[in-house]
Structure 1
Amino acid sequence: MRRERIVPRTAWQERVEAIGFGFHTLEGKPYWREDACYVFDESEIEVLETATGELHALCLDAVERIIRAGRYAELGLGDDAARLVERSWFDRDPSLYGRMDLSFDGASPPKLPEYNADTPTSLFEASVVQWYWLEDVAPEADQFNSIHEKLIERWRTVGGGPRVHFAACYDNPEDGTTTDYLLDTCVQAGCDVQPLDIEEIGWSGKAFIDLADRPIDRLFKLYPWEWLMSEPFAAHIPQSAARWLEPPWKMLLSNKAILPLLWEFFPGHPNLLPASRARADIEGPVVAKPYWGREGDGIIVLRARESSEDKPFHVYQALAPLPVYDGRHALVGSWIVGDEPAGIGIREDDDRITRNTSCFVPHMFR
């Protein structure tokens, strides 16, 4: 694994805008970068793929254990959320996708800092934008990227019903682009679709409905479960027959409080990091993380001898430093579609914490 400096394509901004990528620049700075790329060899890709599949299996095992033991309080979930989790799990509600963030240097086993299991971002960049880049820049090379094909195939399993509704905060360019991309893959799978802003979902007294008063049977929402459960809207969910993507049982995996439970269930696993809800349980430097923080929000790194009063709704995880290339900390986002590893995307930053402004850099392997 290495970072190579390369020459960007001529008029790359126009090229990515032509395929629908409008948020390539944030606050005047490139979010999408193609003055560099990450290069892997095939064996490293195999390591990432194997680790992703193994971690996915561990996560599903952990969900089963938590539900069987009723350990919802350890994840900060109340009774209403617990009932939804249980119903969706025992009904075997299917999942569409997720993104595991991995610290990987090409030599040591990949480590899991967290699992973005509910509303993962950077999907369009990983699936489409970097693939078109590869075709232009290095058509003789390959890329760990079957995300698009796997999404289309997955929709044929999870898209049942007369139509699939797609809800998001469409005034957010990233959310809107990601949701429209998923909607397009659903159409390619042969499904009827209907986009909605999240605020346009109505309630008829017995079912969620769209603006044409049609019942919502299958709903993809790019909106975190913890936000949804905190709104008056949530009171109607148990009464509805709507099926959700991602399903309510993903509340367990999108919550960083899953990390101590994974370590408890599978201690010493080579792809996991020691984690606890108590700082004193972890030796050496740790990362303090809020249960529901997103895009690096609220994350603090504590030095080896730096003590900290345990905060409610926080976990403490052993620090797995990201590899640094040309002064940039690189994080691998490894995608799961259904139950299969599907590809990776690389985010990098000059800081060791990956945030929403961290750059996306394409990759290849030979």
Structure 2
Amino acid sequence: MRRIAVGERPDWRERARASGFTFHTIGGAPYWDESHAYAFTLEEIERDIEGPSAELHALCLAFVARAVEDERILASLAIPEAAWDVVRDSWRRGDPSLYGRLDLAYGGDGTGPAKLLEYNADTPTALYETAVFQWLWFENLLKAGRLPTGSDQFNTVHERLIAQFREIVGDGALALTAYADATEDRGTVAYLEDCARQAGLSTRFLDLSDIGLSADGGFVDRLGAPIATLFKLYPWEWAFRDSFGAALAGTRTRFLEPPWKAILSNKGLLAHLFALEPGHPNLLPAYFESDPRKARLGTSFVKKPLFSREGANVLMVRDGAVLAQDHGPYGAEGYVRQALAVLPEFDGRHALVGSWIVGAESVGICLREEAGPITTDAALFVPHVIEPG
């Protein structure tokens, strides 16, 4: 794994506009950066990322099966008691999952196994830029001779999403929702809607404010039409507590992601997985903040809220001194403490590997980089390539 200078294409913004990548710049700040790329060997991808990602996801599914039968686990994850049956029933019905992203600390061959930092299992973004725009970047540079012949990219995200949509939506119709005025969220949902259409589904987008309840408690749109299947870019921990949360128990609507994903999109997962598999090479020691065993981590650790996103409210401590800290609205729900694994540094930038799971398969990666060790919503998206053997 190395960071290589490749140089921007002079017309990449026009190409982005033409392909629908409208959020390559967010709030006037760059988000997509193709001045350089991360290069991997095939062995690094297959041995250190793809294989472990599939194994970690399988371990997560085994944990869900345990969690839905144990109220102590559900309570430890700050899932409201009123939602326990909603979560349980969705798992027992076999409600399918669409996708998720494992965030890994990995620095390449010789640096040790990839370590799981968290699982964005419910509302991950960075999807379109992974599945489409970095692939178009790769094809364009390969065709122009700017990448060596035989180069590749670990990226079957697009094809697998379409295949997964064909498998999981029974009546052929799908509604999708997000905050329409949130540029990145709207772009992610628009891409998923396109994938669903390519899978043969009929789709409609609804702003979150367009969703209501019928007299019998069913979820409907503004015209009163029932919603049979809904993809929501809206976290379950919010949904459980908002005004419609009580209707989830009796609704006929099925959701992507399903309610059981609330178990995995929670930093408490890290402590539970480590307790189950303390010797797993891809897991970092982790404990709930209320657990006295957290002292085993000593004076170097990361403190994370159960519901945090984009690095918010994360505290990193090394040798008793604050290494980095981000602020935000989370923390009242509780924290976990995880062993410190500082992201590898390349040319003064810290790189995070996002490993995509579609269905139950490991299907591709994305790279986010930041000047500091905490990956926030200001992190840059950088494409990757597999070098020829």
TM range (shorter): over 0.9
1:160-207 per-residue CA deviation (whole Å, 9 max, x = no partner) reads 124110011010010000001001100000111111001101211222
Q: CA deviation at 1:29?
A: 2.7
Separation (CA, whole Å) in 1 of partners of 2:115 and 2:332: 24
SS at match of 2:234: coil
What are the residue-to-residue correspondences of 1:200-279 with 2, within 5 Å? Answer: 200-206=210-216, 207-278=218-289, 279=294
1:63 aligns with 2:84: no
| 8 A contact 2:83–2:249 mirrored in 1 | no
2:327 counterpart residue number: none
1:364 aligns with 2:358: no
What are the residue-to-residue correspondences of 1:80-159 with 2, within 5 Å? Answer: 80-107=82-109, 108-139=112-143, 140=149, 141-159=151-169
| 8 A contact 1:102–1:334 mirrored in 2 | yes
Separation (CA, whole Å) in 2 of partners of 1:111 and 1:162: 39
Moved more, 120-129 or 280-289: 280-289
2:104 maps to a residue whose letter is: L
2:189 counterpart residue number: 179
- Give me the CA root mean square deviation: 1.5
Separation (CA, whole Å) in 1 of partners of 2:332 and 2:229: 38
TM-score by length of 1: 0.97
1:13 aligns with 2:24: no
Give the number of equivalent residue pairs.
364
SS at match of 1:232: coil
| 8 A contact 2:172–2:200 mirrored in 1 | no
Separation (CA, whole Å) in 1 of partners of 2:193 and 2:177: 10
Separation (CA, whole Å) in 2 of partners of 1:148 and 1:205: 39
1:122-155 per-residue CA deviation (whole Å, 9 max, x = no partner) reads 0011001100000111244210000000000000
SS at match of 1:92: coil
Q: CA deviation at 1:5?
A: 1.2
The runs of 5 or more residues in structure 1 that have no matched partner are none
Separation (CA, whole Å) in 1 of partners of 2:251 and 2:67: 25
1:57-90 per-residue CA deviation (whole Å, 9 max, x = no partner) reads 1100111111222221111112112111101011
Moved more, 73-82 or 324-333: 73-82
| 8 A contact 1:284–1:318 mirrored in 2 | no
Separation (CA, whole Å) in 1 of partners of 2:78 and 2:228: 29
The runs of 5 or more residues in structure 2 that have no matched partner are 144-148, 323-330
Moved more, 158-167 or 42-51: 158-167
Separation (CA, whole Å) in 1 of partners of 2:311 and 2:136: 28
SS at match of 2:304: strand
1:300 counterpart residue number: 315
2:67 maps to a residue whose letter is: I
1:36 counterpart residue number: 36
Moved more, 152-161 or 110-119: 152-161
| 8 A contact 1:156–1:189 mirrored in 2 | yes
TM-score by length of 2: 0.91
Separation (CA, whole Å) in 1 of partners of 2:333 and 2:194: 41
Q: CA deviation at 1:311?
A: 7.9
1:340 aligns with 2:361: yes
Separation (CA, whole Å) in 2 of partners of 1:111 and 1:50: 13
Separation (CA, whole Å) in 2 of partners of 1:212 and 1:161: 20
| 8 A contact 1:225–1:248 mirrored in 2 | yes
Q: CA deviation at 1:34?
A: 0.5
| 8 A contact 1:276–1:282 mirrored in 2 | no
2:325 counterpart residue number: none
